[in-house]
Amino acid sequence: MEKIIVRGGKRLFGTVKVEGAKNAVLPVIAASMLANKGTSKIYNVPALADVYTINNVLRYLNADVNYENNIITVKAVKELLTEAPFEYVRKMRASFLVMGPLLARVGMARIPLPGGCAIGSRPIDQHLKGFEAMGAKINIGNGFIEASVNGKLQGANIYLDMPSVGATENIMMAAVLAEGTTILENCAREPEIVDLADFLNAMGAKVKGAGTGTLTIQGVKELKAAHHRIVPDRIEAGTYMVAAAITGGNVLVEDARAEHLRPLISKMEEMGVRITQEFNGLRVKGPDILKPVDVKTMPHPGFPTDLQAQMMALLLKAHGTSVITETVFENRFMHVEEFRRMNADIKIEGRSAIINGPCHLQGAEVSATDLRAGAALVIAGLISQGVTRVSELKHIDRGYVDLAGKLRALGANVERVTVEEGAIEQEVSMPKLNMKPKFA
């Protein structure tokens, strides 16, 4: 088993470079299957577990995928299979994003139900509502969703119940090869949606309105392979911005884009963090004393749920009471229990977490309950007294390239180690409490 070991107390200094966005590259790779001619080339691809998973899904579906030096090539000219295996969908819900492209290209798809995960139940009804509106028949049984269409998908007017990122992407990928025009209202506006639309348009699609609440997609007969560079990862950037601020450090987050990070920048500035735009990124300088703020997660351009746990770590250091309200996922406070192990004073009331800072954090044995929770625990470890050991790194590896190494390069005392299952680790992070056995 591997763990990240953090010894707190170091300020971060230097430059950290942001990778391509996980949440942009996954739909872009899925979309590359829409071209029945040529080879697509995708640049700035992060070496993440999720990227390996989606590559394997495409290979399974009979596409040729090659991944080297942060560049992926996809050639999907052979006849595609239509069933994705449970093994991949179980590992990564975003595997469900192949349904739209398969329906558009082959007219059918059979994908295991993605199911819930640590952050909530995460239904896919909005994806299915979109496919049905375009003429697909949906059957659910034996843990699978089957979708098929007679002939071609038809353009339709679709209004989403909520601006779901995945549903917007899946429906957009289905609509690009449909007959006629699709108007998708109340759709997601995340930068990753814009990145996908840019790639589709480079392939010859006619998508307008990406980044607004309404997408207009005029179906075309055929798409060709294209070249595309993935947008920088705003969530990874935000994670390092928080790490710099919490340690009172001074870090340039290279390739961080201010226009994608407005909600985080605004809250961090309210807390007293200085953030300045430089020609190649954002410089973050953390003050000694942070002010408390209230934060509510919302779909873009609101505060991203994917930065909620990291923001909570920062608020543990603020002088006063802060409230975080999570409105996107119903169960995204699993990290609270882990923070409590580190001596955090947090109360949960419904969908809100009330944080009474400053908390004198102590290193502890903690577990990454999801990928952002994992990053947040490492960040909290940076200012904790003693040693923090974070386990369940498989979650962190889904979304961060070498988190420990990048923090270490900024001066943090962080290492990734392999420990034997069940081994008792010798080093103690704090003096043991002086307890006597009760009945001695």
Ligand X SMILES: C=C(OP(=O)(O)O)C(=O)O
List the catalytic residues: 117
Binding mask 372-391 for ligand X (x = CB under 6 A): x-------------------
170 makes contact with ligand UD1 (CB under 6 A): no
DSSP secondary structure letter of residue 178: S
DSSP 352-393: EEEEEE----B--EEE-SSHHHHHHHHHHHTTSBSEEEEE-H
The contacts of residue 209 (CB under 8 Å, 6+ apart) are: 215, 216
Of residues 14 and 116, the one with the C-beta less far from ligand UD1: 116
CA distance 354 to 181: 47
Nearer to ligand UD1, 239 or 247 (CB): 239
Q: Shortest gap between Cβ of 104 and ligand X (angstroms)? A: 22
Strand order in the sheet with 157-159: 157-159, 181-185, 214-218, 206-208
Closest-by-Cβ residue to ligand UD1 is 166
**Closer residue to ligand X in complex, CB, 306/326:** 306
**8-state DSSP, 83:** B
Considering the rule CB under 6 A, would residue 94 count as an interface residue with ligand UD1?
yes
Do you know the residue count of the chain? Answer: 440
Q: Would you put residue 363 in left (φ > 0), alpha (ψ -120 to 50) or beta?
A: beta
Taking the least distance from each CB to ligand UD1, the nearer of 17 and 127 is 127
Name which of ligand X, ligand UD1, none residue 374 binds, using a CB cut-off of 5 to 8 Å depending on partner kind.
none
Regarding 127 and contact with ligand UD1 (CB under 6 A), the answer is: yes
366 near ligand X, judged by CB under 6 A = no
Q: Which is nearer to ligand UD1, 7 or 267 (CB)?
A: 267
Q: Which does 162 bind (CB under 5 to 8 A by kind): ligand UD1, ligand X, none?
A: ligand UD1
User: Which amino acid, one-letter code, is at 310?
Assistant: Q
Backbone dihedral angles phi then psi of residue 72, each to the nearest 5 degrees: -110, 135
What is the rounded CA–CA span in Å between residue 94 and residue 399? 12
Interface with ligand X (CB under 6 A), residue total: 8
> Cβ closer to ligand X: 82 or 164?
164
Does the footprint of ligand UD1 cover residue 138 (CB under 6 A)? no
CB of 313 to ligand X, least distance (A): 15
C-alpha to C-alpha distance for 291 and 387, rounded to whole angstroms: 26
* Residue with tokens 């169960």, as numbered in its chain: 331
What is the secondary structure of 252-278 as a DSSP string? EEET--GGG-HHHHHHHHHTT-EEEEE
80 binds, among ligand UD1, ligand X, none (CB under 5 to 8 A by kind): none
Q: For 371-407, b where at least 16 C-beta lie within 10 A, e where not — what string?
A: bbbbbbbbbbbbbbbbbbbbbbbebbbbbbbebbebb
Options 5-13, 157-165, 174-182, 358-366: segment touching ligand UD1 (CB under 6 A): 157-165
The label of the residue with tokens 């963090």 reads: 273
Considering only residues 72-111, where is the footprint of ligand X by CB under 6 A?
93-94
Q: Least distance in Å: CB of 49 to ligand UD1?
A: 13
124 binds, among ligand X, ligand UD1, none (CB under 5 to 8 A by kind): ligand UD1
184 binds ligand X (CB under 6 A): no
Quick check: 300 binds ligand X (CB under 6 A)?
Answer: no
Distance CA 326, CA 173 (A): 29
Residue 306 makes contact with ligand X by CB under 6 A: yes
- Please say whether the beta carbons of 334 and 368 come within 8 A: no
Binding-site string for ligand UD1 from residue 15 to residue 54, where x marks contact by CB under 6 A and - marks none: --------x--x----------------------------
* Closest residue to ligand X in the complex (CB): 306
Binding site for ligand X (CB under 6 A): 23, 93-94, 119, 306, 371-372, 399
Give the binding site for ligand UD1 (CB under 6 A).
23, 26, 94, 120, 122-127, 162, 164-167, 188, 305-306, 328-329
